[in-house]
Chain A
Amino acid sequence: MALSKSTAVFLLLLSSVGCRTAIPKEALQWNEQSMERRHLQTRYFQTSEEGKLLSACSGLLQDLGFSIDETESKLGLIVASKQRTAVDTGQVIGATLLSILSGKAVPFDKTQKMRACIVTRPFADGIAVRVTFQRIVWNSEGKVSHLEGLFDPKLFQEFFAKLSKAIFLEAHEI
């Protein structure tokens, strides 16, 4: 059956709207990565003082340049964020050369917002601390260029190394 031009355009628009609103299949699905991430993002501390541990976490986030956005101590939750430049010299040089060659403005990453969330909970005879990170990057045209979670193992190793040091300080008030 032949479609009229307007019907074809309507169906094309309808299918594109459907594509835009369908969430990725794996977005809410547990998989092997979920357990790996749990191990990557969680450390256990042998202490019963959850309040002091939360306080140390809050202090560490601020030491790292974050501002505290939300807290719910009874749930062991701290949410924080920081906004920084995302300008990378190499990328700027590349974008500049490309724009010279093509005659068109080529955007480069300009600012980024990093978000962190810490959740503490009783575990065995101590407390488990889990931290998660994500970031949003905007380019020089004001558009979002990256939306991503951060999963570099080094990031978490360094974070927990600093937290261990802080707890030691926290346990021994100066």
Chain B
Amino acid sequence: MATLQDLGFVLDKADLELGTVTATKLEGYVLRITVTVRPRGTTQLLVRANAEYQEHAVVDPKPYQQFFASLSKAMFLEAQQVE
């Protein structure tokens, strides 16, 4: 959730049980994203991101790579308790 806010999104919905967060970014364009987090085994989490830009699904891998890099940064800050 923090990562999406860092990237300029406003959250639309979140569901703790399903592990989903949906958010929208408006900066001259509409970018909508859903991120799903679920357990993978006992020590890992699986994170899936699914974005749509201006009514088209985003299929280019680069934006997703950028998102996961941003998520890693936010998790680092979380671990350091930096705001």
What's the minimum C-beta distance from A31 to chain B, rounded to whole angstroms? 9
- Residues from chain A with a CB closer than 8 A to the CB of B83 are 38-39, 42, 44, 123, 128
**Interface SS of A by simple majority:** strand
| Complex: chain B residue closest to A118, CB-CB | B11
Q: Cβ of A162: which chain B residues have Cβ within 8 Å of it?
A: none
CB atoms of B25 and A149 under 8 A apart:
yes
Q: Which of A67-75, A89-97, A99-107 contacts B (4 or more CB under 8 A)?
A: A67-75
Contact present for B15 and A34 (CB under 8 Å): no
Is B1's CB under 8 angstroms from A148's CB? no
Residues of A within 8 A of B30 (CB): 147
**Contact yes or no, B13 A148, CB < 8 A:** no
Q: Of the candidates B9, B14, B53, B63, which one forms a contact with A77 in the assembled complex, judged by CB atoms under 8 Å apart?
A: B14
With A23-B53, A24-B29, A27-B31 already in contact, the answer to whether A117 and B10 are too (CB < 8 A) is: yes
CA distance in complex: A67, B61 (Å): 37
Residues of B within 8 A of A37 (CB): 5-6, 8
A148 and B27 within 8 A (CB): yes
Q: Are B10 and A133 in contact (CB under 8 A)?
A: yes
Complex Cα spacing A133 to B10, Å: 7
Instruction: Compute how far the CA of A124 lies from the CA of B16 in the bound complex, rounded to whole angstroms.
Output: 23
Q: What number of A residues sit within 8 Å (CB to CB) of B?
A: 40
Count B interface residues, CB 8 Å. 40
Number of A-B contacts (CB under 8 A): 117
Tell which of B5, B27, B29 touches A130, judged by Cβ atoms closer than 8 Å.
Answer: B5
Interface residues of chain B: helix, strand, loop or mixed (majority): mixed
Complex CA gap A109/B30 in Å reads: 19
Known contacts being A21-B53, A148-B28, is A34 close to B16, with CB within 8 Å?
no
Tell me which residues across on chain B come within 8 A of A133, comparing CB atoms: 10
Does the CB pair A134–B26 fall under 8 Å?
A: yes
Separation in Å of the B78 CB from the closest CB of chain A?
A: 9
Q: Closest B-chain residue to A17, C-beta based?
A: B56
Residues of A within 8 A of B13 (CB): 70, 72, 79
B70 close to A30 (CB less than 8 A):
yes
Known interface pairs A148-B26, A148-B27. Does A21 touch B54 (Cβ–Cβ under 8 Å)?
yes
Q: 9 nearest interchain CB pairs?
A: A147-B26, A30-B70, A34-B6, A23-B53, A28-B67, A21-B56, A28-B66, A117-B11, A29-B66
